[in-house]
Each structure stands twice: as structure tokens, then as C-alpha cells.
């Protein structure tokens, strides 16, 4: 959080990358490893604005008013569903805690897309949701813990995307490397219909979830390549789920193999075993490739395959990140390797290196 001379608050929130456990993590209690990256979004809150507005590049300015069940947007065609949902959750909590209503304006700026407007696949919706929760929560004096920020952001996310795992929400909230398991989202949605937010924040539905910080890989560097082709996580996950329902995918075996790869990676990171971390990443890639083969969904595209193979040829390990189908791939390479040569090789094959570093949250005032 950064106060400005006019009393505004500026919050910067990181994007995310899945390292392992994609697709499995949508099943409550199944683990994944993610990392927060220093390309993110900025939310500026003006506490002396004359009207309640939300401004975001590329979207129509949204005015809104408080309501007993959340907020009421001035117009329906706003395309700011996650922002409206986050504001509604905070408005409910404000009322429950007896805090006076305040007028403020939000200005949201995203650094999570290419200059052409194409997204990198770094979790912009989650970062925006967390940014709104953090900025408005601070402004209202809610004194939220990181876990409360995550849970409020998760509730706001589920109101828009009920099937979301929340891994991106967790990474944007916590920063660094994390082990994540999703809660019982169906139960949370059922309870949210009539439960107070204070009760929801303490629901047993969160018990299946996990947010555990992990150390960075020892002696290795995380490098990220972008294919230049955005992918729709929701449509890809839906296609895989359809294949699971039809019986085309041996889902229990997939979950077992994904869990094993994630556990290998977690143990390697905690033991500072770089080579074992690379082996775990290779296994996670194999798990996704088999899922793609069984489901008929192109998770590892030709471009992602080229990116990974170039890394493997240099002694590193790589895989698609997230739902695949485009977007980014992640790699673990020797920290003292020839990074410039690697990136030149990627560019020659149509892969765009992204200048990303791991984002660490350092207390309440960390902004990026």
C-alpha cells in the first residue's frame, strides 16, 4: 500500500503462473504449485472522489451505489464482473461490521497484457479482484489478514466463476512460491446464499484448502516464454471436464500422477534439490501431455512443445503453464546458464521471453 500526497492509496498486485498441478487443482484438496510474478495490476483508490466510480483502461467508466446485498452498477453492460463482485463482497462486510459508508473512486491499470491487448495468461481477473479487496479493505479500515484477503477474493471470484480453482487468487494474495489446494467451492456457494460473511470466512468448507509458502528452487532460475497466442482457460478446462464425465479420461489415475509430480516438486524445493525439482517438472509435463491425449484437448500446442524442447536440449526442464492451449510455458534452468543465448533461440522459434521475476510480499505495505 502506498499513500499519495492527496491521500489516495495505490496497491500493486502480482500476476501468477502455474508451475505444476493444473487441471487437478480444480478438484478440492488436490495440490498445485504456483508462483507470483512481478508483472501485475495497479489499483489506485481516491478517497475524496465526488461519486463512486471505477475506471479501467479499455472499459466504460462504471458508477455504482451501495445496496443491502452488495452494490448496484449504474449500467449492466460494464464487463467488470470481478470488480463488481469484489465491491459487493466488501459492501456486505462493511455493513456487517457497522462501518460507515464512504464515497471513493477506483482506477485500475493492468500490466498483464501485451501492447496489442492480448493477455499473457498471468491471471488478470484474480489480480484485479485481490487488488480491489486489498485497496478497499485498507480504506475501510477492515484490517484484513492475508488469509482473509484470499477468502474474500475467492468468494468474489466464485460468484462470477463458480468452477474457478482459486490458485491464481492465492498466488496474487500471498506472493512468492506457494503450495495450493482449493477449498470445497460448492459448499461455499451453497452457504453464501444466506450466511453472513463473517460466518463464511470461518466455514469448514475452507478446510480442504491450503496456502503454504515454498522456498524458491535452489541453483535454478525460473524463465518464462509466451507463445503470443492467448488461450481461454475456462473453455479448455470445460473441454477436459467433459472428457472426464464421458469416461475418456482415467481421472483417478490422472489425479494420482499429478499429485505425485506436485509432491515431488514440493519436496525438492523444501530440500533445496534443484535437479529433483527439474525432474518433477518433467513429470508434470508428461502428466499434462497424457491428459491432453486422453481428452483430445490440445494442452501442449506445437509452440509450447518447441519452447519446452529447446529448454530440454539445453539441460533444463519446461512445461506449459496453466490450462495450456497457448499462453505461457515455464522452465527451470541453471542460474549460471547462458540466458541471452536461450532467449535468442526462443525468439528464432517464435517464442517471446517475458522479463519476469518472482514477486515476494513483504508485509502490509509491500506493493511490488
| 129-155 confidence digits (pLDDT tens) | 999 999 999 999 999 999 999 999 999
Q: What is the pLDDT of residue 119?
A: 65
Q: What is the pLDDT of residue 368?
A: 30
Positions of the chain with pLDDT lower than 70, given as ranges? 1-6, 112-120, 362-368
Using CA atoms, how far apart are residues 34 and 117, in angstroms rounded to an integer?
24
For 103-124, b/e burial (b = at least 16 CB within 10 A) is: ebbbbbebbbbeeeeebbbbbb
Q: What is the pLDDT of residue 323?
A: 85
- The answer to whether 331 and 318 have CB atoms below 8 angstroms apart is yes
pTM: 0.92
Q: Which residues contact 26 (CB under 8 A, 6 or more apart)?
A: 163, 165, 182, 237, 241
As a whole number of Å, the CA-based R_g of the chain is 20
Q: What is the pLDDT of residue 193?
A: 84
Provide the angle, in degrees to the nearest 10, between the axes of the packed helices 124-139 and 146-160.
130
Q: What is the pLDDT of residue 362?
A: 64
Q: What are phi and psi of 208, to 5 degrees?
A: -75, -20
- The answer to whether 189 and 33 have CB atoms below 8 angstroms apart is no
Amino acid at each position: 500500500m502506498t499513500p499519495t500526497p492527496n491521500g489516495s492509496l495505490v496497491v500493486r498486485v502480482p500476476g501468477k503462473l502455474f508451475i505444476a498441478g493444473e487441471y487437478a487443482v480444480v478438484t478440492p484438496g488436490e495440490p498445485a504449485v504456483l508462483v507470483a510474478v512481478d508483472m501485475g495490476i495497479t489499483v489506485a483508490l481516491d478517497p475524496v472522489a465526488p461519486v463512486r466510480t471505477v475506471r479501467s483502461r479499455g472499459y466504460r467508466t462504471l458508477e455504482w451505489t451501495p445496496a443491502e446485498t452488495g452494490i448496484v452498477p449504474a449500467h449492466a453492460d460494464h464487463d467488470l464482473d470481478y470488480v463488481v463482485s469484489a465491491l459487493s463482497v466488501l459492501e456486505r462486510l462493511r455493513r456487517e461490521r457497522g462501518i460507515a459508508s464512504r464515497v471513493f473512486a477506483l482506477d485500475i491499470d493492468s500490466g498483464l497484457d501485451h501492447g496489442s491487448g492480448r493477455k499473457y495468461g498471468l491471471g488478470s481477473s484474480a489480480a484485479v479482484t485481490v487488488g480491489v479487496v486489498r485497496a478497499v479493505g485498507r480504506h475501510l479500515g477492515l484490517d484484513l489478514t492475508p488469509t482473509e484477503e484470499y477468502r474474500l477474493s475467492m468468494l468474489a471470484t466464485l460468484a462470477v466463476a463458480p468452477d474457478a480453482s482459486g490458485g491464481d487468487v492465492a498466488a496474487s494474495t500471498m506472493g512468492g512460491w506457494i503450495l495450493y489446494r482449493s477449498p470445497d467451492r460448492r459448499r461455499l456457494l451453497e452457504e453464501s446464499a444466506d450466511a453472513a460473511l463473517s460466518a463464511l470466512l470461518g466455514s469448514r468448507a475452507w478446510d480442504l484448502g491450503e496456502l503454504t509458502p515454498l522456498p524458491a528452487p535452489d541453483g535454478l532460475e525460473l524463465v518464462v516464454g509466451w507463445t503470443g497466442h492467448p488461450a481461454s482457460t475456462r473453455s479448455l478446462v470445460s473441454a477436459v471436464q467433459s472428457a472426464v464425465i464421458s469416461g475418456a479420461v482415467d481421472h483417478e489415475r490422472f489425479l494420482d500422477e499429478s499429485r505425485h509430480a506436485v509432491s515431488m516438486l514440493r519436496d525438492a524445493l523444501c530440500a533445496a534439490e534443484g535437479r529433483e525439482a527439474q525432474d518433477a517438472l518433467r513429470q508434470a509435463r508428461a502428466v499434462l501431455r497424457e491428459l491432453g491425449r486422453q481428452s483430445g484437448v490440445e494442452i501442449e500446442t506445437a509452440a509450447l512443445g518447441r519452447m519446452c524442447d529447446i529448454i530440454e536440449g539445453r539441460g533444463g526442464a519446461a512445461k506449459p503453464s496453466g490450462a495450456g492451449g497457448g499462453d505461457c510455458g515455464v522452465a527451470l534452468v541453471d542460474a549460471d546458464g547462458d540466458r541471452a543465448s536461450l532467449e535468442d533461440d526462443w525468439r528464432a522459434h517464435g517464442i517471446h521471453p517475458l522479463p519476469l521475476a518472482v514477486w515476494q510480499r513483504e508485509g502490509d505495505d509491500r506493493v511490488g
